Every structure is written in structure tokens, then in C-alpha cells.
Amino acid sequence: MTIQDPHAIPTPGADVVVATRTPNRSRRSSLAMFRNPGIAFGTAITLIWLVIMITVHWWAPYDPYESVGSRLQSPNGQHWFGTDALGRDVFTRVLYGSRQSLPIAVLVIASALLIGGTLGALAGYFGKFADTAVMRLADVTMAFPPILLAMAVAAALGPGLRNGFFAMVIVWWPIYARLLRAQVMAVKQREHIEAAVTVGATRGRILRRHVLPLSFTGVMVNATMDLGQVVLLTASLSFLGLGAVPPAPEWGAMITEGAKNFYQWWIAVAPGLAIATVVLGFNFLGDGLRDVLDVRSAQR
């Protein structure tokens, strides 16, 4: 095969070879993610709430703690979601509620992934006593329904988002311990891991450089979807009086106030819609990531 000069004029009958550049794998993956409607929709909702959380103190119409009008006003042009029993603007408090729920959701999942992922990886790779000890502890924790276990821990520690954070980490770490253990046990049987053992690589290096990078796909998809579940559990604990302490603008606590003023429906509906949109956003994002990263789905 001869290489054609790009500036030369081809003679009649000559074969012209046109070189085309195929997109690399990372570029194709990025385009596939952007084409997935679940990722697009979930990312849009998530980004909107993240922007609100970061910038709300600059443009919010009112102070979330101050009385700004008559109590229990229905939605109107001045107060889009009405006012609560203390005359505070419900719309402003819903916006500020994102600063309570979203950061704690990220912290809970990150902490549970760090604790549970570390224990699960060690259990799956080293096996024997480490595997037995970690899995039995995870089984004992997962034997209790998540909401009941979180309520029991939060009640023992006392109300407050910090104590609710510890309660939810206790609930979630076994999930990632079991998940990452299964992933590590599957990956460590592959041929390239055996080759690394043959050439004398240490077990710690094999775990860090060869096993864990191939084990995090399913874990990250699960973590994305669990963010919405943590937001929902945070609101549930606050609704029961075990989470945020009034007058903090937290969505679950606002729904509790709405339950006390049943006929003023807007007090509970507004934070309920906020919770629904956040949970839907994270669920759509997780479903989209699973479709894109799953090999069988990509082939179909």
C-alpha cells in the first residue's frame, strides 16, 4: 500500500485512499451518555437543584426564618407557595431546604461507600476470616428494616441532622460492603489478575490498581440512585421529629407543619414536590448510567 500525497492531483484510474478517523471509545461513550434521555433529564433536574442550593442566598425573595406576611396565606403573586403558620414564605423555605437535604445525602453516600466499600473490598479479595467477619456484621445490620433501624439509632442519639447522618450511614454501609465484595470476587478471577500475581505484584497493588477500577461501575450506579433514597429518608426522619430541629427549613419538617394545618394544603405540597423532583432526578440519572455502562444494554 502506498501513501498518497494529499496535495498531489490523482491521475485518471488511480486508486485514491481516503483516510477517516474513527472516534475513540471515550468520545463514543460521552456521546452515548448525552443521547440517553434518562441521563439528560436526570442531569438537568440535579443541576437545577445544585444551582439553587449554591446560589439561593443571593437571590431568594425573603429570609427563610422571618415572618414576611400574614399567617397561612394561600399562594398568590407575592408568595408563590403561600405562607406558613408563622407568616414565613413557603417558597423561600423550600428553596433553602435544598441546603439541608442535598449535602447530607452526598455525605451519607460518600461515607457509606468509603466504609462499606473498604470493608467489602477487603472481604472479597482476602476472604477467610475477613470475609466472614464483615459479612456477618453486614447481615446483622441488614436484618432490620432500614427505616426502623435509622429511627432507633436517631432516637438513641437524639434529634438533629448530625445524628440523623450517623443513623443513615449505619443503614447504608452494609449495602456497599456486599455489593463491592461481590464485584471484587468476580474481578479477581480474571486472567489479567492471575498474570499480575505471576509477575510478583503485591496483593495491595493488585487490589488498588487492577481490581478496584473494574469493580466500581455497578457501585457508582447504585450510589447515584441511593442519593434520592437518602433525601427521602432524611425527610422521613425529620417528619417524625428525629431529624432537623425547627425552625430549620427542612422539607420533612415542613411537611410535618403542613400535617398540623391540614386545610392549608400548600404548606405540605410544596416541600413534597421538591422531594419528588429530587428523587426522580437521581433515579433517572442512575437508570441512564446503568443503561449506558451495562455491556448487554449497549449491545442491544
Confidence of residue 115 (pLDDT cuts 50, 70, 90): very high
| Residue 209 pLDDT > 70 | yes
pLDDT digits (tens, 9 = 90+) for 158-191: 888 999 999 999 999 999 999 999 988 888 877 7
DSSP 223-283: HHHHHHHHHHHHHHHHHTTSSPPTTS--HHHHHHHHHHTTT-THHHHHHHHHHHHHHHHHH
Q: Centre a 10 Å sphere on the Cβ of residue 6 and count the other Cβ atoms it contains.
A: 6
Strand partners, 89: 83
Asked whether the beta carbons of 113 and 176 are under 8 A apart, the reply is: yes
pLDDT digits (tens, 9 = 90+) for 47-102: 999 999 999 999 998 999 999 989 999 999 899 999 999 999 999 999 999 999 99
Domains of the chain by start residue, with CATH: 34-299 (1.10.3720.10)
Asked whether the beta carbons of 69 and 226 are under 8 A apart, the reply is: no
pLDDT digits (tens, 9 = 90+) for 229-263: 999 999 999 999 898 888 889 999 999 999 888 88
